[in-house]
Amino acid sequence: MSSKRLSKLTTALRNSGIETLALNPSPSLIYLTGLHFHLMERPTVAFFTTDSEPVIVLPELEMLKLRDLPFEIKAFPYGENPAEWDKVFLEAGQSLGLKGKRIGVEPLHMRILEFNKVKAIAGEAECPDATQVVGSMRVCKDHDEINAMRSAVGVAQEALKATLPSIKIGATEKEIANQLVTQLLRHGSQPDMPFAPIVSSGPNSANPHAVPSERKLQAGDLLVVDWGAAVDGYISDLTRTFAIGKVEDEFSKIHQVVQEANAAGRAAAKPGIPIANVDIAARKVIERAGYGKYFTHRTGHGIGMEPHEDPYARGDNMQLLEPGMTFTIEPGIYLPGRNGVRIEDNIVITADGAECLSDMKRELRTMD
């Protein structure tokens, strides 16, 4: 698979006018080569050009990872002394004749650590943003990628079902999060998950990016659970909101509004329209109900190898939807200091509409 992607990359590089790409350990590197490296203090950078085999500069102790690759790659390994690394990087650059050439990078993933090495190779030439080179290849998922995501959604849903008995008055957010992670592993998630689950209750649920705390669930709380699994390098990212005992009428109401917004977003998604329309459709439901200013984020984001990637469901994003694009629909209403609701599903654009990969009950379920 990687050989095929590498030959597509050559075309993408030519079309971009950038010609050379430098990647540090990142989803795009895995996508192209299957190579996993830790992001650490030892810089690892692979260079891709249109006319030579790829080159990689890496720690000597990672060399075994290059065995049995289905394509040729020229390695420039270095030892443990950082004083020697610059020289090895320059040799790698010379072998590809990169001095004075523009070398494209991915600003979202490359650190200054690696960027300094790349700039030293490029010399006076600029290092442009090349996010769209591999990004344009990754944004539409193929059959195998969608199947992996389907599995990741299945694992996540089964794991939450198995965690439901732990969701009860008196349980802490952390206890529920730990139980959920245990169940994710038991049901087949990779240990390196896309993100730690968000389990936020009561006032904490009004913070979209809360971290699970020692707070105990109380009657009257809403409980937001935002979680995902990873299967074969692809992820899921779902959210459901629960009522703990009897909750205020307004909390039930905002849940209903968010559920309708989620449905409207899913219904709007289809090929050929700007993804902005998905955001607008979901947001309109919440605005009409009078809660527009409490929906403080975009309606969704692409998912695949990364928890957030293209395409982003924002009202200003005119990117056209295409079959194979995969993203979240996750409207929310957050009442500061009180409670919050979010309902999140994962969809894939099909030839004539969209398929929702997640099917777990969205209605407000009461636990106590």
Residues that bind its own copies (CB under 8 A): 36-38, 40-41, 59-62, 64-65, 80-81, 83, 105-113, 115-116, 177-178, 181-182, 185-186, 190-192, 195-197, 206-212, 296-298, 301, 307-309, 312, 314, 316, 336
- Give dist(CA 25, CA 39) in Å, integer: 6
Q: Minimum distance from CB of 188 to its own copies (Å)?
A: 9
**Least separation in angstroms between CB 84 and its own copies:** 10
Q: Given the complex with its own copies, which of 233 and 323 has the nearer CB atom?
A: 233
DSSP state of 69: -
146-180 core/surface letters (b: 16 or more CB in 10 A; e: else): bebbbbbbbbbbbbbebbeebbeeebbbebbbbbb
Q: Which of residues 19 and 330 has its CB atom nearest to its own copies in the complex? A: 330
| Residue placing its CB nearer to its own copies in the complex, 227 or 251 | 227
Cβ closest to its own copies, residue 214 vs residue 249 = 214
| CB of 60 vs its own copies, minimal distance in Å | 6
- Min dist CB 297 to its own copies, Å, is 5
Of 190 and 256, which has the nearer Cβ to its own copies? 190
Side chain identity, residue 62: E
Shortest reach from residue 103's CB to its own copies, in Å: 12
Nearer to its own copies, 129 or 359 (CB): 129
Cα dihedral 309, 315, 321, 327 sign: positive
Work out how close the CB of 306 gets to its own copies at its nearest, in angstroms, rounded to a whole number: 9
Contact 364, 255 (CB under 8 A): yes
Q: 8 burial class (0-12, 13-18, 19+ CB within 10 angstroms)?
A: middle
Nearest approach, Cβ of 51 to its own copies (angstroms)?
26
137 closest CA partner among 322, 353, 367? 322
Hey, what are 332's tokens? 């929310």
Burial of 15 (0-12, 13-18, 19+ CB in 10 A): exposed
Q: How far apart are CA 55 and CA 60, in angstroms?
A: 14
- Is the CB of 138 or the CB of 301 nearer to its own copies? 301
Per DSSP, the three-state class of 169 is: coil
CB 353 to its own copies: min, Å? 26
Residue 156 C-beta: closest distance to its own copies, Å = 14
Cross-strand partners of 356: 347
Q: Which is nearer to its own copies, 31 or 312 (CB)?
A: 312
Which residue shows structure tokens 């971009």? 16
Closest CA to 340 of 238, 237, 226: 226
**Residue with the two structure tokens 């700007």:** 274
Integer distance in angstroms from the first to the last C-alpha of the chain?
49
Structure tokens at 90: 């320059």
Q: Which is nearer to its own copies, 142 or 316 (CB)?
A: 316
Amino acid at 296: T
